[in-house]
Structure 1
Amino acid sequence: TQVWDENNRVVPVTVVKAGPCIVTQVRTNDTDGYESVQIAFGEIDPRKVNKPLKGHFAKADVTPRRHLVEIRTADASEYTLGQELTAEVFEAGVKVDVTGKSKGKGFAGVMKRHNFRGLGAGHGTQRKHRSPGSIGGCATPGRVFKGLRMAGRMGNERVTTQNLTVH
Protein backbone atom coordinates (compact mmCIF):
# COMPACT_ATOMS: atom_id res chain seq x y z
CA THR A 1 0.00 0.00 0.00
CA GLN A 2 1.14 3.62 0.32
CA VAL A 3 1.38 6.40 2.92
CA TRP A 4 2.18 10.11 2.87
CA ASP A 5 5.50 11.24 4.41
CA GLU A 6 6.25 14.54 6.21
CA ASN A 7 7.11 16.25 2.87
CA ASN A 8 3.67 15.34 1.50
CA ARG A 9 5.03 12.72 -0.90
CA VAL A 10 3.57 9.26 -1.49
CA VAL A 11 5.80 6.47 -0.15
CA PRO A 12 5.20 2.81 -1.10
CA VAL A 13 5.06 0.62 2.02
CA THR A 14 4.56 -3.02 2.91
CA VAL A 15 2.39 -3.77 5.93
CA VAL A 16 4.00 -6.46 8.10
CA LYS A 17 2.25 -8.28 10.92
CA ALA A 18 4.82 -8.29 13.73
CA GLY A 19 3.50 -9.74 16.95
CA PRO A 20 2.36 -10.24 19.51
CA CYS A 21 5.32 -12.52 20.26
CA ILE A 22 5.88 -14.21 23.62
CA VAL A 23 9.32 -14.81 25.15
CA THR A 24 9.49 -18.57 25.83
CA GLN A 25 13.17 -18.94 26.76
CA VAL A 26 16.05 -16.66 27.75
CA ARG A 27 19.55 -18.01 27.08
CA THR A 28 22.50 -16.44 28.91
CA ASN A 29 26.27 -16.84 28.88
CA ASP A 30 26.16 -18.60 32.27
CA THR A 31 23.72 -21.35 31.26
CA ASP A 32 24.16 -21.73 27.49
CA GLY A 33 27.41 -19.99 26.55
CA TYR A 34 25.73 -17.28 24.47
CA GLU A 35 23.06 -14.59 24.79
CA SER A 36 19.75 -15.03 22.96
CA VAL A 37 15.98 -14.90 23.34
CA GLN A 38 13.52 -17.51 22.06
CA ILE A 39 10.18 -16.05 20.99
CA ALA A 40 6.93 -17.76 19.92
CA PHE A 41 4.28 -16.50 17.51
CA GLY A 42 0.83 -17.62 16.33
CA GLU A 43 -1.77 -19.33 18.51
CA ILE A 44 -2.27 -23.06 17.92
CA ASP A 45 -4.66 -25.72 19.21
CA PRO A 46 -2.97 -27.38 22.24
CA ARG A 47 -3.94 -30.84 20.90
CA LYS A 48 -1.61 -30.32 17.92
CA VAL A 49 1.52 -29.88 20.05
CA ASN A 50 3.75 -32.83 20.99
CA LYS A 51 4.71 -33.59 24.60
CA PRO A 52 8.22 -32.07 24.62
CA LEU A 53 6.92 -28.76 23.25
CA LYS A 54 3.95 -28.84 25.66
CA GLY A 55 6.44 -29.04 28.52
CA HIS A 56 8.52 -26.24 27.01
CA PHE A 57 5.51 -23.91 26.78
CA ALA A 58 4.28 -24.93 30.26
CA LYS A 59 7.68 -24.02 31.72
CA ALA A 60 7.30 -20.52 30.24
CA ASP A 61 3.64 -20.46 31.41
CA VAL A 62 2.27 -19.58 27.94
CA THR A 63 -0.25 -21.18 25.61
CA PRO A 64 1.24 -23.22 22.71
CA ARG A 65 2.35 -21.28 19.63
CA ARG A 66 2.94 -22.32 16.02
CA HIS A 67 6.37 -20.75 15.38
CA LEU A 68 9.47 -20.73 17.60
CA VAL A 69 12.42 -18.48 16.68
CA GLU A 70 15.67 -17.77 18.53
CA ILE A 71 17.24 -14.33 18.17
CA ARG A 72 20.78 -13.49 19.29
CA THR A 73 21.02 -10.37 21.47
CA ALA A 74 23.79 -8.43 23.18
CA ASP A 75 22.06 -8.59 26.57
CA ALA A 76 19.36 -11.22 27.12
CA SER A 77 18.73 -10.09 30.70
CA GLU A 78 16.50 -7.29 29.34
CA TYR A 79 13.82 -9.91 28.64
CA THR A 80 11.75 -12.02 31.03
CA LEU A 81 9.96 -15.34 30.53
CA GLY A 82 6.39 -14.79 29.28
CA GLN A 83 7.03 -11.17 28.26
CA GLU A 84 4.94 -10.00 25.29
CA LEU A 85 6.73 -8.24 22.41
CA THR A 86 4.63 -6.21 19.97
CA ALA A 87 5.30 -3.91 17.00
CA GLU A 88 5.75 -1.03 19.47
CA VAL A 89 9.42 -2.07 19.85
CA PHE A 90 10.02 -0.43 16.44
CA GLU A 91 10.24 3.37 16.32
CA ALA A 92 9.16 5.39 13.27
CA GLY A 93 12.07 6.45 11.07
CA VAL A 94 14.42 3.66 12.16
CA LYS A 95 16.17 1.58 9.47
CA VAL A 96 15.67 -2.20 9.70
CA ASP A 97 16.67 -5.31 7.74
CA VAL A 98 13.76 -7.61 6.81
CA THR A 99 14.26 -11.32 6.12
CA GLY A 100 11.61 -13.60 4.67
CA LYS A 101 10.79 -16.19 2.03
CA SER A 102 10.19 -15.07 -1.56
CA LYS A 103 7.14 -16.22 -3.51
CA GLY A 104 7.66 -19.62 -5.10
CA LYS A 105 7.19 -19.50 -8.87
CA GLY A 106 7.85 -23.14 -9.70
CA PHE A 107 10.03 -24.33 -12.57
CA ALA A 108 10.98 -21.31 -14.69
CA GLY A 109 12.96 -20.92 -17.88
CA VAL A 110 16.07 -18.78 -18.27
CA MET A 111 14.18 -15.77 -19.66
CA LYS A 112 11.95 -15.49 -16.60
CA ARG A 113 14.48 -16.70 -14.01
CA HIS A 114 17.64 -14.86 -15.15
CA ASN A 115 16.31 -12.24 -17.61
CA PHE A 116 18.04 -13.81 -20.63
CA ARG A 117 17.32 -12.15 -23.98
CA GLY A 118 16.41 -15.33 -25.81
CA LEU A 119 17.16 -16.11 -29.44
CA GLY A 120 16.15 -14.08 -32.48
CA ALA A 121 12.64 -14.32 -33.89
CA GLY A 122 13.80 -14.68 -37.49
CA HIS A 123 16.90 -15.89 -39.37
CA GLY A 124 15.87 -19.53 -39.34
CA THR A 125 15.42 -20.06 -35.58
CA GLN A 126 12.90 -22.86 -35.09
CA ARG A 127 11.04 -23.42 -31.78
CA LYS A 128 14.05 -22.33 -29.66
CA HIS A 129 13.27 -18.66 -29.05
CA ARG A 130 13.21 -18.91 -25.23
CA SER A 131 16.23 -21.20 -24.86
CA PRO A 132 19.52 -20.13 -23.20
CA GLY A 133 21.67 -20.61 -26.30
CA SER A 134 25.14 -22.10 -25.91
CA ILE A 135 26.08 -23.39 -22.45
CA GLY A 136 29.78 -24.00 -23.03
CA GLY A 137 32.63 -25.01 -25.32
CA CYS A 138 33.24 -28.28 -27.14
CA ALA A 139 36.12 -30.72 -26.49
CA THR A 140 37.89 -28.04 -24.45
CA PRO A 141 36.85 -27.79 -21.64
CA GLY A 142 34.56 -30.76 -22.37
CA ARG A 143 32.19 -29.90 -19.53
CA VAL A 144 29.75 -27.23 -18.37
CA PHE A 145 31.20 -24.89 -15.74
CA LYS A 146 29.59 -24.90 -12.29
CA GLY A 147 27.27 -22.04 -11.47
CA LEU A 148 26.05 -21.56 -15.03
CA ARG A 149 22.63 -19.93 -14.98
CA MET A 150 20.03 -22.33 -16.33
CA ALA A 151 16.33 -23.07 -16.04
CA GLY A 152 15.12 -24.39 -12.68
CA ARG A 153 13.05 -23.66 -9.60
CA MET A 154 12.51 -19.97 -9.04
CA GLY A 155 11.70 -18.25 -5.76
CA ASN A 156 10.79 -19.88 -2.43
CA GLU A 157 14.17 -18.91 -0.95
CA ARG A 158 15.38 -16.77 1.93
CA VAL A 159 15.71 -13.11 0.91
CA THR A 160 16.95 -10.18 3.03
CA THR A 161 16.12 -6.58 2.15
CA GLN A 162 18.32 -4.09 3.98
CA ASN A 163 17.82 -0.51 5.21
CA LEU A 164 14.03 -0.30 5.07
CA THR A 165 12.51 2.65 6.94
CA VAL A 166 9.83 1.98 9.58
CA HIS A 167 6.76 4.24 9.11
Structure 2
Amino acid sequence: MSGLIGKNIGMTSMFLKNGENVPCTIVQVGPCYIVQIKTIKNDGYSSVQLGIDDKKIKKTNKSLLNHFKKAGLSPKKKLLEFRMNQKIHSNFTMGNLISINFFKEGELVDIKGISKGKGFQGVIKRHNFSGVGEKTHGQHNRLRAPGSIGAGSDPSRVFKGKKMAGKMGKKSVTIKNLEILKIDFDYNIMFLKGSVPGNKNSYLMIQKKEWN
Protein backbone atom coordinates (compact mmCIF):
# COMPACT_ATOMS: atom_id res chain seq x y z
CA MET A 1 0.00 0.00 0.00
CA SER A 2 1.25 3.47 -0.88
CA GLY A 3 -0.10 5.72 1.89
CA LEU A 4 -2.81 6.85 4.33
CA ILE A 5 -5.50 9.52 4.70
CA GLY A 6 -4.72 12.61 6.76
CA LYS A 7 -6.37 15.83 7.87
CA ASN A 8 -4.85 19.31 7.65
CA ILE A 9 -4.74 20.75 11.19
CA GLY A 10 -2.81 23.97 10.51
CA MET A 11 0.67 25.46 10.25
CA THR A 12 3.44 26.23 12.71
CA SER A 13 7.23 26.44 12.70
CA MET A 14 9.95 24.16 14.00
CA PHE A 15 13.63 24.49 14.80
CA LEU A 16 15.94 21.99 13.09
CA LYS A 17 19.11 20.57 14.65
CA ASN A 18 21.22 23.18 12.86
CA GLY A 19 19.18 25.99 14.44
CA GLU A 20 17.19 26.81 11.29
CA ASN A 21 13.55 27.73 11.82
CA VAL A 22 11.36 26.23 9.08
CA PRO A 23 7.60 26.42 8.41
CA CYS A 24 5.77 23.13 8.79
CA THR A 25 2.24 21.77 8.53
CA ILE A 26 0.57 19.72 11.26
CA VAL A 27 -1.31 16.76 9.77
CA GLN A 28 -3.43 14.28 11.71
CA VAL A 29 -2.89 10.88 10.09
CA GLY A 30 -5.58 8.25 10.53
CA PRO A 31 -6.54 6.12 12.21
CA CYS A 32 -7.57 4.58 8.89
CA TYR A 33 -9.62 1.41 8.41
CA ILE A 34 -9.55 -0.98 5.45
CA VAL A 35 -13.02 -0.76 3.90
CA GLN A 36 -12.38 -2.73 0.69
CA ILE A 37 -9.58 -4.72 -0.94
CA LYS A 38 -9.59 -4.70 -4.74
CA THR A 39 -7.83 -7.41 -6.74
CA ILE A 40 -6.74 -7.79 -10.34
CA LYS A 41 -9.00 -10.82 -10.68
CA ASN A 42 -12.19 -9.07 -9.52
CA ASP A 43 -11.57 -5.40 -10.32
CA GLY A 44 -8.79 -5.32 -12.93
CA TYR A 45 -6.27 -3.67 -10.58
CA SER A 46 -4.92 -4.05 -7.05
CA SER A 47 -5.66 -1.45 -4.38
CA VAL A 48 -6.87 -0.86 -0.84
CA GLN A 49 -9.78 1.45 0.00
CA LEU A 50 -9.34 3.25 3.32
CA GLY A 51 -11.88 5.16 5.40
CA ILE A 52 -11.42 7.79 8.11
CA ASP A 53 -13.66 9.54 10.69
CA ASP A 54 -17.03 8.14 11.74
CA LYS A 55 -20.19 9.35 10.01
CA LYS A 56 -23.75 9.31 11.34
CA ILE A 57 -25.83 6.37 10.10
CA LYS A 58 -28.84 8.59 9.30
CA LYS A 59 -26.63 10.61 6.91
CA THR A 60 -25.47 7.52 5.00
CA ASN A 61 -27.47 5.92 2.17
CA LYS A 62 -28.28 2.21 2.16
CA SER A 63 -25.81 1.20 -0.52
CA LEU A 64 -22.91 2.72 1.43
CA LEU A 65 -24.19 1.22 4.70
CA ASN A 66 -24.02 -2.25 3.15
CA HIS A 67 -20.57 -1.43 1.75
CA PHE A 68 -19.26 -0.67 5.25
CA LYS A 69 -21.17 -3.59 6.78
CA LYS A 70 -19.20 -6.05 4.62
CA ALA A 71 -16.02 -4.84 6.34
CA GLY A 72 -17.68 -4.84 9.77
CA LEU A 73 -17.21 -1.08 10.12
CA SER A 74 -19.35 1.92 10.97
CA PRO A 75 -19.86 4.49 8.15
CA LYS A 76 -16.86 6.71 7.40
CA LYS A 77 -16.79 10.33 6.20
CA LYS A 78 -13.93 10.01 3.70
CA LEU A 79 -12.94 7.14 1.41
CA LEU A 80 -9.76 7.02 -0.67
CA GLU A 81 -8.02 4.31 -2.67
CA PHE A 82 -4.32 3.50 -2.56
CA ARG A 83 -2.58 1.27 -5.09
CA MET A 84 -0.96 -1.89 -3.77
CA ASN A 85 1.43 -4.55 -5.04
CA GLN A 86 -0.25 -7.87 -5.68
CA LYS A 87 2.56 -9.65 -3.79
CA ILE A 88 1.65 -8.10 -0.40
CA HIS A 89 -2.09 -8.42 -0.97
CA SER A 90 -2.48 -11.18 1.64
CA ASN A 91 -1.07 -8.98 4.42
CA PHE A 92 -4.27 -6.91 4.63
CA THR A 93 -7.73 -7.81 5.93
CA MET A 94 -10.99 -5.87 5.62
CA GLY A 95 -11.82 -3.97 8.79
CA ASN A 96 -8.21 -3.77 9.99
CA LEU A 97 -6.80 -0.58 11.50
CA ILE A 98 -3.72 1.07 9.95
CA SER A 99 -2.04 3.71 12.11
CA ILE A 100 0.60 6.40 11.64
CA ASN A 101 3.30 3.75 12.30
CA PHE A 102 3.14 3.21 8.54
CA PHE A 103 5.45 6.25 8.19
CA LYS A 104 8.91 7.09 9.57
CA GLU A 105 10.61 10.36 10.42
CA GLY A 106 12.83 11.67 7.63
CA GLU A 107 10.80 10.06 4.83
CA LEU A 108 9.69 12.01 1.76
CA VAL A 109 5.98 11.98 0.96
CA ASP A 110 3.67 13.38 -1.71
CA ILE A 111 0.56 15.21 -0.48
CA LYS A 112 -2.56 15.40 -2.63
CA GLY A 113 -5.56 17.55 -1.73
CA ILE A 114 -8.14 20.08 -2.95
CA SER A 115 -6.77 23.63 -3.02
CA LYS A 116 -8.56 26.57 -1.41
CA GLY A 117 -11.37 28.06 -3.50
CA LYS A 118 -10.83 31.71 -4.45
CA GLY A 119 -14.15 32.34 -6.22
CA PHE A 120 -14.43 34.33 -9.46
CA GLN A 121 -11.17 36.24 -10.05
CA GLY A 122 -9.76 38.52 -12.72
CA VAL A 123 -6.78 37.83 -14.95
CA ILE A 124 -4.26 39.60 -12.70
CA LYS A 125 -4.93 37.39 -9.68
CA ARG A 126 -5.76 34.25 -11.66
CA HIS A 127 -3.00 34.30 -14.33
CA ASN A 128 -0.55 36.91 -13.00
CA PHE A 129 -1.23 39.40 -15.83
CA SER A 130 0.22 42.91 -15.46
CA GLY A 131 -2.84 44.81 -16.69
CA VAL A 132 -3.16 47.17 -19.64
CA GLY A 133 -0.91 49.95 -18.34
CA GLU A 134 -0.39 52.86 -15.99
CA LYS A 135 -2.73 55.80 -15.36
CA THR A 136 -1.64 57.67 -18.48
CA HIS A 137 -3.41 58.80 -21.66
CA GLY A 138 -6.81 58.54 -20.04
CA GLN A 139 -6.53 54.91 -18.89
CA HIS A 140 -7.91 55.59 -15.43
CA ASN A 141 -10.11 52.44 -15.35
CA ARG A 142 -7.98 49.96 -17.31
CA LEU A 143 -5.28 49.02 -14.78
CA ARG A 144 -6.57 45.49 -14.10
CA ALA A 145 -8.26 44.85 -17.44
CA PRO A 146 -7.27 41.84 -19.60
CA GLY A 147 -6.94 43.86 -22.80
CA SER A 148 -7.47 42.41 -26.27
CA ILE A 149 -8.22 38.68 -26.46
CA GLY A 150 -7.03 38.39 -30.07
CA ALA A 151 -10.28 37.56 -31.87
CA GLY A 152 -10.95 39.23 -35.27
CA SER A 153 -12.49 38.42 -38.65
CA ASP A 154 -10.03 35.56 -38.74
CA PRO A 155 -10.49 33.22 -36.81
CA SER A 156 -13.75 34.96 -35.76
CA ARG A 157 -13.73 33.15 -32.43
CA VAL A 158 -11.78 32.82 -29.20
CA PHE A 159 -9.61 29.71 -28.94
CA LYS A 160 -10.35 27.23 -26.17
CA GLY A 161 -8.09 27.55 -23.15
CA LYS A 162 -7.61 31.30 -23.47
CA LYS A 163 -6.45 32.79 -20.16
CA MET A 164 -9.37 34.91 -18.98
CA ALA A 165 -11.23 35.73 -15.78
CA GLY A 166 -13.06 32.88 -14.08
CA LYS A 167 -13.31 30.62 -11.05
CA MET A 168 -9.98 30.06 -9.30
CA GLY A 169 -8.83 27.32 -6.96
CA LYS A 170 -10.69 24.28 -5.61
CA LYS A 171 -8.69 21.91 -7.80
CA SER A 172 -6.76 18.73 -7.13
CA VAL A 173 -3.16 19.69 -6.29
CA THR A 174 -0.17 17.46 -5.46
CA ILE A 175 2.84 18.77 -3.51
CA LYS A 176 5.83 16.45 -3.93
CA ASN A 177 8.86 15.62 -1.79
CA LEU A 178 7.72 16.97 1.58
CA GLU A 179 9.93 15.78 4.43
CA ILE A 180 8.46 14.29 7.61
CA LEU A 181 10.20 16.31 10.34
CA LYS A 182 8.56 14.68 13.35
CA ILE A 183 5.88 12.11 14.22
CA ASP A 184 3.90 12.10 17.48
CA PHE A 185 2.70 8.50 17.70
CA ASP A 186 0.58 9.16 20.83
CA TYR A 187 -1.65 11.70 19.07
CA ASN A 188 -1.34 10.44 15.44
CA ILE A 189 0.20 13.76 14.38
CA MET A 190 2.81 14.35 11.68
CA PHE A 191 4.87 17.50 11.13
CA LEU A 192 5.65 18.11 7.44
CA LYS A 193 8.23 20.61 6.18
CA GLY A 194 6.41 23.21 4.07
CA SER A 195 2.74 23.75 3.21
CA VAL A 196 0.02 21.49 1.87
CA PRO A 197 -3.06 22.24 -0.31
CA GLY A 198 -6.49 22.87 1.19
CA ASN A 199 -8.23 24.52 4.11
CA LYS A 200 -7.98 23.52 7.75
CA ASN A 201 -9.68 20.17 8.49
CA SER A 202 -9.59 19.23 4.79
CA TYR A 203 -8.62 15.66 3.93
CA LEU A 204 -5.28 14.79 2.34
CA MET A 205 -3.86 11.79 0.53
CA ILE A 206 -0.39 11.07 1.95
CA GLN A 207 1.70 8.77 -0.27
CA LYS A 208 5.17 7.36 0.22
CA LYS A 209 7.66 8.59 -2.34
CA GLU A 210 8.91 5.19 -3.49
CA TRP A 211 5.43 4.29 -4.81
CA ASN A 212 5.20 7.23 -7.28
Do these two structures clear the TM 0.5 threshold for a shared fold by scoring above it?
yes
TM-score (norm 1): 0.92
Using CA pairs below 8 Å that are at least 6 residues apart, which structure has the higher relative contact order? Answer: 2
Does 2:68 correspond to 1:57? yes
Instruction: Give the corresponding residue for 1:66.
Output: 77
Does 2:163 correspond to 1:149? yes
Does 2:121 correspond to 1:108? yes
How far apart are residue 137 of structure 1 and its match? Answer: 4.7
| Structure ID, larger Rg | 1
SS at match of 1:71: strand
Quote the Cα distance in structure 2 between the aligned partners of 1:156 and 1:94: 28
SS at match of 1:98: strand
Unaligned runs of 5+ in 1: none
Looking at secondary structure, tell me which structure has more strand per residue: 2
After superposing on structure 2, the runs of 4+ consecutive aligned residues of structure 1 that deviate more than 4 Å are none
Q: CA RMSD in A?
A: 1.5
Deviations 1:142-161 (A, max 9, x none): 32222211000010111111
Match of 2:50 among 33, 39, 44: 39
Question: Contact 1:26–1:81 (CA<8 Å) still a contact in 2?
Answer: yes
Deviations 1:28-67 (A, max 9, x none): 2333332110111111112222222222212211111111
Counterpart of 1:110 in structure 2: which amino acid? V
Percent identity among equivalent residues?
Answer: 44
Counterpart of 1:69 in structure 2: which amino acid? L
Q: How many residues align?
A: 167
Quote the Cα distance in structure 2 between the aligned partners of 1:158 and 1:79: 28
Instruction: Give the corresponding residue for 1:163.
Output: 177
Quote the Cα distance in structure 2 between the aligned partners of 1:32 and 1:145: 40
Counterpart of 1:78 in structure 2: which amino acid? N
